[in-house]
Amino acid sequence: MKKIGLKDMKKRNSLIILDLVCKLGPLSRVEIARYTELSPSTVTAQVNNLIEKGLLVESGTAASTGGRKRIELSINSSFGDICIVEMERRAARLRFYDMNLNEYKVIPLAEHYLSGNDLLELIISSIPSLGKDDAPYSKKPAGFGLLFQEDVQPSDYNVIFSTSLSSASITLREALLSQFRVPVLEESISTFSLAEPLQANANEQTSVNNAHINIGTGIIISITIEGKHLPLRNGRFSDLTALLSQTDNAFCQSERAEEQIASVIAFLTSLFALDTVFLSGEVTKSHRFIRSVRELTEAKLSSAPIPKIQVLNTDQQPVAGLLAKEVRTRVFESLYL
């Protein structure tokens, strides 16, 4: 077992303090010590270090129960910008968040399809342009999030990187890492947007054994058994598209879509004692589609228990904001604290 050194301990304590202030701040040093159960001397040392590095600021004062005012600490909004790039087949936009996750600017990058090189050039040129109007905010990117809509894939935006000797194709993520030297996360909206509604369902404790099937340009599943997410090929999710259809980016238009979804449900039910199957995606707005899936599933499971089939609504999820939060966490973890 690896021993935890002093540097590791200090960084862990710093991350605990940052996480607490993100969730509950502004907080005084006394409150931080009480919530984290760290010693006052440790809190003072770590807070002073975080202030020196620009991550925390003394944002004001608040009266304590004894009448003495205490200095409150907050995340420094100006430490850096969280930049979220949203990509669709015919559009791209760049969203800017401060370190407190307040969205303060949206720049439309294009209303048509862009190559990876064109998109990279637009992102780079858009960063310095904030200086004139947004003086209160930092001009330095702290981290990037790449959010791919259902009609595009990361490979659609590969960048041709050329030198005097050779050229190679790299991902947009790799290109931004090389350009800015900050954390870059990439997520597909078809998986990332499902985290909160699935968690909300788990919190309601309405279903401890369930599967979720997201139907977009492909089929992505997630399985929860006894309230815990089952590890799959891509972490929490697994892409079944290649196993079900040979037509790229056209699964939802397949005449056999309902039958294939019913087959997936029947297969999962044969492996797990599922009480509920959640379906999401644009196609689930069709009552005919859902009715057909239910009827076909009942026919395939005529001699087995049939799980409840329920539509999971993900339309109102603030996906860009959720990704910005993930990027901020990665930024904190990447810093030398």
pLDDT digits (tens, 9 = 90+) for 40-61: 999 999 999 999 999 999 987 7
- Check whether residue 63 and residue 31 sit in a common domain: yes
Does residue 241 form part of some domain?
A: yes
Positions of the chain with pLDDT under 50:
1, 131-138, 203-205, 246-253, 316
On whether residue 1 sits in a domain, the answer given is no
> Domains in the chain: how many in total?
3
Of 28, 157, 34, nearest in space to 89 by CA: 157
Among the candidates 23, 47, 75, a domain finishes at 75
DSSP bridge pairs for 187:
147
What pLDDT is stored for residue 257 in this prediction? 85
pLDDT for res 176: 95
Q: What is the pLDDT of residues 306-320, one digit of tens each?
A: 898 888 765 545 788
Q: Which residues contact 305 (CB under 8 A, 6 or more apart)?
A: 269, 273
The answer to whether position 17 is within a domain reads: yes
CA 302 to chain centre: 39
CA distance 277 to 275: 7
- Residue among 51, 74, 50 at smallest CA distance from 61: 74
pLDDT at 208: 75
| Residue with the two structure tokens 């870059």 | 184
The reply to whether 184 and 257 lie within a common domain is: no
Per-residue model confidence (pLDDT) at position 146:
95
The per-residue pLDDT for 196 is 53
Task: Tell me the pLDDT tens digit for each residue of 141-186.
Answer: 999 999 988 778 888 899 998 766 777 899 999 999 999 999 999 9
For residue 101, what are the domain limits?
79-191+319-334
Using DSSP's 3-state secondary structure scheme, residue 33 falls into: helix
At residue 205, the 3 state secondary structure works out as coil
What was the pLDDT predicted at 192? Answer: 60
Task: State the chain's maximal CA–CA distance in angstroms.
Answer: 71
Question: 205 and 129 share a domain?
Answer: no
Q: Reply yes or no: is the peptide bond before residue 26 cis, omega within 30 of 0.
A: yes
Contact (CB, 8 A) for 256 and 263: no
pLDDT the model gives residue 239: 78
277 contacts: CB under 8 Å, gap ≥ 6? 210, 211, 212, 213, 265, 268, 269, 307, 308, 309, 310
In total, the chain counts a number of residues equal to 337
> What pLDDT does residue 224 have?
84
Query: For residue 136, what are its two tokens?
Result: 């209160």
Cα 201 to Cα 120: distance, rounded to the nearest angstrom: 38
